[in-house]
């Protein structure tokens, strides 16, 4: 397993903590609307509206902010005090300014692998936000290239591979989302390593196991140093 | 002037109409708040808030939507009927779904140049929105690469040149913004052609003339075929 041209890392919940911050923000947001609906139901409404907006807004915190605001309008049937909007914006702005918390061992893993492979970041989300997070993470120096993708479907990976001039069979993707980091890459003939994270957005979940000769799963990221 | 490795085109107001749609959206938005403040003053408030948010939100329609919402909160001092928020969101969503209107002669120019040069798009703004606009424009086939940049400063162009492996002196940028498309490229030793558009966002304006041996200005895009 040592002939990779490029190893790509997902960013959120692979390099650093992300989803728990979203959960925390969602909790805070649901609290704003508890006079109208239970936490659980507000969460469902928010998710529904996020999914409705996904094609138009894409991923990332700004999209999340706009969906929170639309959820307020919907849940309160237009009768919310406008201060709720202000609070939702504050929740989003706080999220955009969270400090970066690296996942365990990630810096050591990148430092070692970057001596042997060309490493890139392949992440989806908000362009500016992801660039800022990478800068603040102090990890930029390990990466040859950073690709912020509008989505992580097969077509997006095909474009990425063309751009970095890498044959699929020499491409290894490492990430926490089976749906976004693993399946599309395997389908294109690439390799993938799944490093599960304890918290996963329901939108990223899939309902089946993966068995594939180009695939493996590791519990801890540092395990990959044993075979890379 | 025929040794360019890559010719990059700005997108908004270089390939297709953009700023007039923003002006129209702003006009509509200012109308929402006319009970509170004159159109002109609302426009000033909106611009002030957009500038305050620029580092955090970056460019693009979602950032504009969030700034409209914050302007409502500020101008009405938290006393707006919440329906105004709904209307601001509708203005933004409409803008994200505008049909693409190509600028005069642009397709002919791209068709001809793409036979002789490697063409790319270098645009700033919202990742998903810019990708969608390019797809809807029908112009994708002329471009070797599309780069959506979080900003268009020298550092961003340096990164782009590294990525496309192009020496600055063989790079030609074509666009409507002296500030974003021309000055940073000239400063790096590249070439630039300014094609002014009749409407320019005040944030993109500069207060001096440019004279530089690597620079020229053309009134109409098709003129560049005379010397490229």
Q: Give the pLDDT band of residue B2 (cuts 50, 70, 90).
A: low
Strand partners, A102: A16
Q: Which residues of A touch B62 (CB under 8 A)?
A: 57, 62-63, 66
| CATH 1.10.150.240 residue ranges for chain B | 19-96
In this model, does residue B1 exceed pLDDT 70?
Answer: no
Question: What is the CATH code of the structural domain delimited by A6-17+101-226?
Answer: 3.40.50.1000
Q: Identify the architecture of domain B19-96 in CATH.
A: Orthogonal Bundle (1.10)
Per-residue pLDDT tens over the stretch A173-213: 999 999 999 999 999 999 999 999 988 888 888 888 889 99
Note the helical H segments in chain A: 19-32, 39-57, 61-75, 83-96, 106-113, 127-137, 154-164, 183-187
Percent of chain A with pLDDT over 90: 89
Query: pTM to 2 decimals?
Result: 0.93
Q: Rounded to whole angstroms, how far apart are CA atoms A130 and B177?
A: 26
> Minimal Cα–Cα distance from B153 to chain A, Å?
14
Three-class DSSP category at B204: helix
Q: What is the CATH number of domain B6-17+100-226?
A: 3.40.50.1000
What pLDDT was estimated at residue A111? Answer: 98
- A122-153: per-residue pLDDT in tens? 999 889 999 999 999 999 999 999 999 999 99
Q: Which residues on A lie below 8 Å from B64 (Cβ)?
A: none
CB atoms under 10 Å from CB of B87, counted, come to 16
Radius of gyration of chain A (CA): 19
CB contact under 8 Å between A82 and B79, yes or no, is yes
| Cβ-based neighbour number of residue B36 at 10 Å | 16
Residue A224 near residue A109 (C-beta atoms within 8 A): yes
Which residue spans of chain A are classified as CATH 3.40.50.1000?
6-17+101-226
Measure the CA–CA gap between A77 and A45, rounded to whole angstroms. Answer: 12
How do residues B70-104 score in pLDDT, each as one tens digit?
Answer: 999 999 998 989 999 999 999 999 999 999 999 99
Query: Which of A6, A82, A83, A151 is the best substitution to test chain B (most B C-beta atoms within 10 A)?
Result: A82
Contact (Cβ atoms closer than 8 angstroms) between residue A57 and residue A63: yes
Q: Tens digits of per-residue pLDDT, A35-49?
A: 999 999 999 999 999
DSSP B7: E
Residue A88 pLDDT exceeds 80: yes
Stretch(es) of chain B classified as CATH 3.40.50.1000: 6-17+100-226
Mutate one of A57, A97, A118 to test the B interface: name it (highest B CB count within 10 A). A57
Work out the burial of residue A19: count CB atoms within 10 Å of its CB; fewer than 13 is exposed, 13-18 middle, 19 or more buried. middle
pLDDT tens-digit profile of B172-221?
Answer: 999 999 999 999 999 999 999 999 998 888 888 888 888 999 999 999 99
């Amino acid at each position: 397993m040592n002939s990779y041209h490029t190893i790509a890392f997902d960013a959120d919940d692979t390099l650093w903590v992300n989803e728990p911050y979203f959960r925390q923000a969602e909790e805070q947001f649901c609290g704003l609307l508890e006079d109208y609906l239970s936490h659980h139901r507000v969460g469902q409404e928010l998710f529904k509206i996020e999914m409705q907006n996904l094609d138009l807004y894409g991923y990332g915190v700004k999209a999340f902010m706009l969906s929170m605001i639309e959820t307020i309008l919907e849940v309160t049937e237009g009768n919310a005090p406008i201060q709720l909007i202000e609070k939702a914006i504050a929740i989003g702005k706080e999220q955009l300014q969270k400090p970066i918390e690296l996942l365990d061992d990630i810096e050591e893993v990148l430092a070692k692998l970057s001596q042997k492979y060309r490493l890139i970041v392949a992440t989806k989300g908000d362009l500016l936000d992801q660039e800022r997070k990478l800068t603040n993470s102090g990890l930029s120096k390990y990466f040859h290239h950073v690709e912020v993708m509008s989505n992580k479907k097969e077509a997006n990976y095909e474009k990425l591979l063309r751009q970095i001039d890498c044959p699929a069979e020499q491409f290894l993707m490492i990430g926490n989302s089976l749906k976004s980091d693993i399946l599309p890459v395997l389908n294109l003939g690439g390799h993938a390593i799944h490093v599960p994270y304890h918290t996963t957005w329901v939108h990223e979940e899939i309902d089946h196991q993966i068995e594939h000769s180009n695939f493996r799963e590791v519990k801890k990221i540092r395990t990959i140093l044993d075979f890379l």
